[in-house]
Amino acid sequence: MIKLYDHQLSGNSYKSRLLLNQLGVEYERINVDVFKGEQNDPKFAALNPNKKIPVLVDEDFIMWESNAILFYIGKKYSPNPLYPEDPKSHGLVAQWLLFGKTTIDPNLAMARYLTRFVQPQMQDQQELTKCRAHGMMTLKILDDHLKDNQFLAGEYSIADIGCYPYVHLAPEGEIDIEAYSSVVSWIERIQSQPGYIAMDV
Ligand SMILES: N[C@@H](CCC(=O)N[C@@H](CS)C(=O)NCC(=O)O)C(=O)O
């Protein structure tokens, strides 16, 4: 059975759980308490030299990097609608998942991290202000796309699953998403997909 090393508050880990659940794949969850530094344990570092969750272990195969894990699970259980294989959709899925890592995470995920998990006296206010401002620019890009599109790469896919966690968590970084009505509708569409699970289950 697939093993997933994760933590309930990790948006990067949540996306793997969401996909596995939506595909009906059974998996074992192993909690890594990143707040206690368990990711630095040599046994865990042997799985991921980058010492971060999530890590997926499938028999003797080990993978890290959350968006790469989505590609692996999607392909392993193909054909399935969450993993489109025609060249254009596949290219667009990669485009949005890279946008997730290069633009959503450094702005929206970072704003949430600094706001929620760093003690106020340790927060870099300049960095936080920049993340929030760039986070709003990121939401605008998504909102413009989602005005004319139900989902990021055509039909509901791993592109949406990969980008969704840190977009719906943006309010935890004190970024108001209500002004981005197409993003809000997209979040609601994702939450009504079969097999959807909330992050805190
Ligand atoms: N690019 C990585 C980022 C993973 C990541 O930052 N994981 C966080 C939890 S969401 C973590 O393990 N943090 C612990 C640390 O950095 O020490 C991915 O997408 O998997």
DSSP letter for each residue of 77-138:
T-S-TTS--SHHHHHHHHHHHHHIIIIIIIIIIHHHHHHHHS-GGG--HHHHHHHHHHHHHH
What percent of the chain is predicted at pLDDT more than 70? 100
> How high is the mean pLDDT of the chain?
98
Give the domain extent around 27: 2-76
Domain count for the chain: 2
Best probe residue, ligand 1, of 18, 53, 98 (max atoms within 8 Å of C-beta): 53
Query: Of 35, 54, 76, which residue constitutes the final position of a domain?
Result: 76
C-alpha 52 to ligand 1 mean position (Å): 4
Residue nearest to atom 13 of ligand 1 (CA): 52
pTM for the model stands at 0.98
Q: Tens of pLDDT along 5-49?
A: 999 999 999 999 999 999 999 999 999 999 999 999 999 999 999
- Output the pLDDT for position 105: 98
Q: Tens of pLDDT along 77-118?
A: 999 999 999 999 999 999 999 999 999 999 999 999 999 999
Residue nearest to atom 2 of ligand 1 (CA): 65
CA distances from residue 120 to 34, 54, 73, 115, 125 in whole angstroms, order as listed = 19, 27, 38, 8, 9
Same domain, 12 and 43: yes
CB 25: neighbour CB atoms within 10 A? 13
Best probe residue, ligand 1, of 10, 14, 34, 52 (max atoms within 8 Å of C-beta): 52
User: Mean of the pLDDT values across residues 156-173?
Assistant: 98
Same domain, 150 and 109: yes
C-alpha 134 to ligand 1 mean position (Å): 20
Same domain, 177 and 107: yes
The CATH number of the domain holding residue 36 is: 3.40.30.10
Pocket of ligand 1 (CB under 6 A): 10-12, 34, 39, 51-54, 65-67
Query: Of 76, 98, 130, which residue constitutes the final position of a domain?
Result: 76
Q: How far is CA 114 from the centre of its chain?
A: 17
13 CA closest ligand 1 atom index:
10
**Closest Cα partner for 197 from 56, 71, 19?**
19
